């Protein structure tokens, strides 16, 4: 399906927004209560992960568990992902994106991630050889995303069946226990891949980059 150009310049920064350090990071979009974020940051201390969650209740649950576990390489962010990413991330800054079991938008297919103009902007923030992992329990969602990768975005990917022993998110555990087929696409940004946003810089990033207070180890704030 044809996709119009994303209007990044029209995105307003989230309330109380602050920039992050201009360093390589991983980003999880729609982190929920943070099960995957906490697990990933524990298993990969060499990577910094920013976990974005829009729903306040889920964000607070993630924040509470983070305070107990205290991973210094995890930053939880309470925001809508699209404006936050536009204003916070620099071109080619992200090593890995994770979008695990997003809302399938059954009544609004244009709002699915690979159908949105925003997906081009997302790709501009990804490093060369960086990856984006998209997981779903809905075969039609994966099939449509796969078709978009081939026809629209022209990106290499690997499709995998998620093993029944996997337990990255609460949704994943529930779906696998019900015997549903869970699959993921691991999308790679190849060398030479370009978008119309490769030179787009957030206004704040042109002036100064400051560390957010939530980067502090939560145990230090107790």
Is residue 75 within 8 A of residue 50, CB to CB? The reply is: yes
Between 159 and 6, whose confidence is greater?
A: 159
CATH of range 20-204; options 3.40.50.150, 1.10.1740.10, 3.20.20.70, 3.20.20.140: 3.40.50.150
Q: What's this model's pTM, rounded to 2 decimal places?
A: 0.87
Question: Quick one: average pLDDT of 95-110?
Answer: 95
Q: What is the DSSP string of 132-181?
A: EEEEES-HHHHHHHHHHIIIII---EEEEEPPTT--SSHHHHHHHHTT--
Q: What per-residue confidence (pLDDT) applies to 4?
A: 74
Is residue 29 within 8 A of residue 52, CB to CB? The reply is: yes
Q: What per-residue confidence (pLDDT) applies to 201?
A: 87
Domain ranges of the chain: 20-204
Which DSSP category does 90 fall into?
A: P
Rounded to whole angstroms, how far apart are CA atoms 153 and 124? 12
Please give the share of the chain, as a percent, with pLDDT higher than 90: 80
Question: Quick one: average pLDDT of 162-189?
Answer: 97
Mean of all residue pLDDT scores within the chain: 89
Please, how many CA atoms are within 13 Å of residue 44, restricted to the half-sphere of its CB? 15
Q: Report pLDDT digits (tens) over 110-169.
A: 999 999 999 999 999 999 999 999 999 999 999 999 999 999 999 999 999 999 999 999
Question: Quick one: average pLDDT of 78-92?
Answer: 93
Q: What per-residue confidence (pLDDT) applies to 188?
A: 98
Q: What per-residue confidence (pLDDT) applies to 89?
A: 94
Q: Is the pLDDT of residue 210 over 80?
A: no
Q: Is the pLDDT of residue 215 over 80?
A: no
Band of pLDDT at residue 7, cut at 50, 70 and 90 = confident
Q: What per-residue confidence (pLDDT) applies to 203?
A: 63
Rounded to whole angstroms, how far apart are CA atoms 37 and 216? 16
């Amino acid at each position: 399906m044809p996709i119009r150009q994303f209007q990044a310049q029209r995105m307003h920064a989230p309330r109380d927004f602050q920039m992050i350090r201009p360093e390589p990071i991983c980003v999880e979009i729609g982190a929920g209560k943070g099960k995957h974020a906490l697990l990933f940051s524990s298993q990969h201390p060499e990577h910094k992960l920013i976990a974005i969650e829009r729903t306040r209740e889920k964000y607070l649950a993630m924040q509470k568990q983070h305070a107990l576990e205290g991973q210094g390489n995890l930053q939880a962010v309470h925001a809508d992902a699209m404006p936050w990413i536009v204003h916070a991330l620099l071109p080619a800054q992200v090593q890995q994106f994770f979008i695990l079991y997003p809302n399938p938008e059954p009544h609004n297919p244009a709002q699915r991630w690979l159908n949105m103009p925003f997906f081009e902007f997302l790709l501009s923030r990804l490093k060369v050889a960086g990856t984006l992992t998209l997981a779903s329990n809905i075969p039609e969602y994966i099939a449509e995303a796969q078709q978009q990768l081939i026809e629209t975005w022209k990106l290499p990917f690997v499709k995998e069946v998620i093993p029944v022993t996997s337990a990255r998110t609460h949704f994943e555990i529930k779906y696998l226990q019900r015997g549903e087929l869970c699959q993921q696409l691991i999308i790679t940004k190849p060398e030479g891949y370009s978008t119309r946003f490769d030179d787009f810089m957030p206004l704040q990033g042109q002036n100064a980059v400051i560390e957010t207070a939530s980067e502090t180890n939560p145990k230090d704030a107790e």
